[in-house]
Amino acid sequence: MYSIGDLSRRTGVKAPTIRYYEQMGLLEAPERSEGNQRRFAKAELERLAFIRHARDLGLTINSIRQLIGLSGHADRPCADADRIAKEQLASVRDRIAKLQKLEEELERIATCCTGETVGDCYVIRALSDHSLCGHEH
């Protein structure tokens, strides 16, 4: 049996975050000590590691809830799990593409200023005038 602090040290997830996951229905309400403190079993430790890893990969609480729901039915088809992973991959790729466009614009904006005063600063001018940009954003 682990206290919430034990669990926190073993997984690197802060105690308030563990309580938050419980509240969001990702962790089941654990047993309690006589004095009402949480006491987690090993299964919860593993589930918390799963949650943390999924979060680190950018999955939302909602997706994780679905995945946990699925993982209880080992005999069902895994198409839903595969779909969630593919959607997350697509979303990450999408964000990368958007950020790369921003990077291009920002590189120009951040490196082209030859002025010395605000009056002739390229940064200010570029922000005032989108037609200096190479793409839409």
Which spans of this chain sit near its own copies (rule: CB under 8 A)? Answer: 46, 49-50, 53-54, 56-58, 67, 70-71, 73-78, 81-82, 84-86, 88-89, 92-93, 95-96, 99-100, 102-103, 105-107, 109-110, 113, 115-121, 123-124, 127-128, 130, 137
Strand partners of residue 2: 40
Sign of the CA dihedral with 131 first, then 132, 134, and 137 last: negative
Total residue length of the chain: 137
We find the least distance from the C-beta atom of residue 62 to its own copies, in angstroms, to be 15
70 contact choice in DNA, its own copies, Zn ion, none (CB below 5 to 8 Å, kind-dependent): its own copies
We find the least distance from the C-beta atom of residue 74 to DNA, in angstroms, to be 26
The smaller minimum CB distance to Zn ion, of residues 43 and 102, is found at: 102
Q: How far apart are CA 88 and CA 12, in angstroms?
A: 23
Residue (of 94, 85, 17) closest to 54 by Cα position: 85
Contacts of 128 (CB under 8 A, 6+ apart): none
We find the least distance from the C-beta atom of residue 96 to its own copies, in angstroms, to be 5
